[in-house]
């Protein structure tokens, strides 16, 4: 069932969740499709042993949205992404991706999603060509098609000369571009990314920001987590703040500000997560650095 509009009565009064964000239908898409969420989470709960990590997440994501999924370390962001990707099991509640309840055992939705993990060192021994060819084939492309498109995308990123070099000789930013390329070879409808701008120089960040905007304009949904607040503030059409396993805020940056939260996203983040210790921690840290040995 689409269009669920859950309530969030268990959250405290500081939480800001206006409503599930539903964009206007785009003229280049069938209206029905634009109204259907590409991701739907309902009462998603996950625990590791006795530790409750996700405590009932309700969320709908629509085509064309760029979601910045933020939260303190350990809030459960990667866990949420890994569950949606089918890389983590054992949860309660509903996870629906592209209309498919992912617990039904079918892998069909996986050919329509892309994923950029934060690290992928296990593939370091491969060349960019080998890795991209392998990734493309995992997503159902023929080897020739995968290599052709990979070569073209790498050339656009200015990486044609290193296409046949091993990834372990690449800088962090170069690896990131390979991962990004791998995630889009099969033209996915939904893109999941973990710290997608990590290691990229300023020019490359600008390029990737533009790429996100264009992919979203094509009707793809982008769901990424990051700790770089000034970037999240600028490129997300919608920001979802996860705090202690629950959604504590959900809206565009302008909406978060308009609802009483003040300042930069970093300040809003600290306000909503109740983190006011940064100065005291920095004081204690630097005093300790200066301590003399006896
Ligand atoms: N495989 C696991 N086994 C046990 N506990 C885990 C496992 N994976 C994650 N956790 C715990 O779940 C909690 C949420 O972890 P998660 O990686 O989702 O957080 P995060 O929000 O992505 O954090 P960060 O911003 O530091 O990347 C943490 O307390 C973590 O220790």
Question: Which DSSP category does 25 fall into?
Answer: P
Q: Tens of pLDDT along 17-28?
A: 444 454 443 434
Q: Please report the atom of ligand 1 found closest to the CA of residue 118.
A: 27
Task: Kindly tell me if the per-residue pLDDT of 106 is higher than 80.
Answer: yes
Domain membership of residue 44 (yes or no) is: no
Domain membership of residue 76 (yes or no) is: yes
Give the residues surrounding ligand 1 with Cβ less than 6 Å away: 48, 53, 71, 73-79
Domain membership of residue 289 (yes or no) is: no
Per the structure, the count of domains in the chain is 1
Share of residues in the chain with pLDDT > 90 (%): 51
The predicted complex's ipTM stands at 0.97
Q: Please report the atom of ligand 1 found closest to the CA of residue 227.
A: 25
Ligand 1 pocket test, pick from 55, 72, 74 with the greatest ligand atom count within 8 Å of Cβ, gives 74
pTM for this predicted structure: 0.84
Domain membership of residue 202 (yes or no) is: yes
* CATH code for the domain of 263: 3.40.50.300
Nearest-angstrom CA–CA distance, 102 and 274 = 34
- Residue 21's nearest CA partner among 268, 223, 211 is 223
Q: Determine which residue's CA is closest to atom 28 belonging to ligand 1.
A: 74
**Per-residue pLDDT, 262:** 66
Q: Tens of pLDDT along 260-276?
A: 666 788 888 888 787 77
Nearest-angstrom CA–CA distance, 135 and 207 = 23
Tell me the pLDDT band of 117, cut-offs 50, 70 and 90.
confident
**Per-residue pLDDT, 257:** 81
Q: Determine which residue's CA is closest to atom 18 belonging to ligand 1.
A: 76
Domain that holds residue 196: 64-86+108-274
Dist. CA 74 → ligand 1 center (Å): 5
Task: Kindly tell me if the per-residue pLDDT of 12 is higher than 70.
Answer: no
Domain membership of residue 172 (yes or no) is: yes
Q: Tens of pLDDT along 131-180?
A: 999 999 988 899 999 999 999 999 999 999 999 999 999 988 899 899 99
Q: CB-based contacts of 129: which residues, under 8 Å, 6+ apart?
A: 147, 150, 151, 163, 164
Domain membership of residue 253 (yes or no) is: yes
Domain membership of residue 139 (yes or no) is: yes
CA distances from 89 to 46, 148, 207, 280 (A): 9, 35, 35, 39
- Residue 173's nearest CA partner among 200, 155, 149 is 200
Q: Determine which residue's CA is closest to atom 7 belonging to ligand 1.
A: 48
**Per-residue pLDDT, 278:** 79
Tell me the pLDDT band of 47, cut-offs 50, 70 and 90.
very high
**Per-residue pLDDT, 268:** 80
Ligand 1 pocket test, pick from 44, 46, 57, 77 with the greatest ligand atom count within 8 Å of Cβ, gives 77
- Tell me, letter by letter, the H, E, C secondary structure of 66-113: EEEEECCCCCCHHHHHHHHCCCCCCCEEEEEECCEEHHHCCCHHHHHE
Domain membership of residue 252 (yes or no) is: yes
CA angle at 220 for the pair 229 and 177, rounded to the nearest 5°: 60
Task: Kindly tell me if the per-residue pLDDT of 10 is higher than 50.
Answer: no
């Amino acid at each position: 069932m689409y269009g669920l509009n859950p309530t969030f009565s268990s959250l405290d009064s500081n939480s800001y969740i206006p409503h599930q964000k539903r964009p206007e239908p785009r003229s280049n898409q069938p209206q029905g499709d634009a109204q259907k969420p590409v991701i739907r989470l309902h009462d998603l709960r996950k625990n590791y042993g006795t530790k409750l990590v996700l405590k009932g997440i309700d969320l709908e994501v629509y085509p064309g949205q760029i979601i910045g999924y933020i939260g303190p370390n350990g809030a459960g962001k990667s866990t949420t992404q890994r569950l949606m990707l089918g890389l983590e099991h054992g949860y309660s509640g509903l996870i629906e991706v592209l209309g498919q309840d992912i617990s039904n055992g079918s892998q069909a939705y996986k050919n329509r999603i892309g994923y950029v993990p934060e690290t992928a060192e296990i593939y370091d021994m491969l060349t960019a060509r080998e890795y991209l060819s392998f990734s493309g084939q995992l997503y159902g492309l023929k080897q020739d098609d995968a290599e052709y498109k990979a070569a073209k995308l790498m050339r656009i990123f200015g990486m044609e000369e290193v296409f046949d070099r091993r990834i372990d000789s690449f800088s962090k930013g170069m690896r990131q571009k390979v991962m990004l390329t791998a995630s889009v070879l099969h033209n996915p409808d939904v893109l999941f990314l973990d710290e997608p701008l990590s290691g990229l120089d300023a020019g490359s960040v600008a390029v990737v920001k533009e790429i996100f905007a264009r992919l979203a304009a094509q009707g793809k949904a982008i769901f990424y987590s990051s700790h770089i607040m000034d970037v999240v503030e600028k490129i997300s059409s919608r920001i979802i703040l996860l705090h202690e396993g629950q959604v504590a805020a959900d809206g565009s940056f302008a909406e978060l500000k308009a609802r009483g939260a003040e300042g930069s996203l970093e300040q809003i983040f600290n306000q909503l997560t109740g983190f006011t210790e940064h100065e005291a921690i920095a004081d204690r840290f630097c005093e300790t650095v200066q301590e003399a040995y006896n």
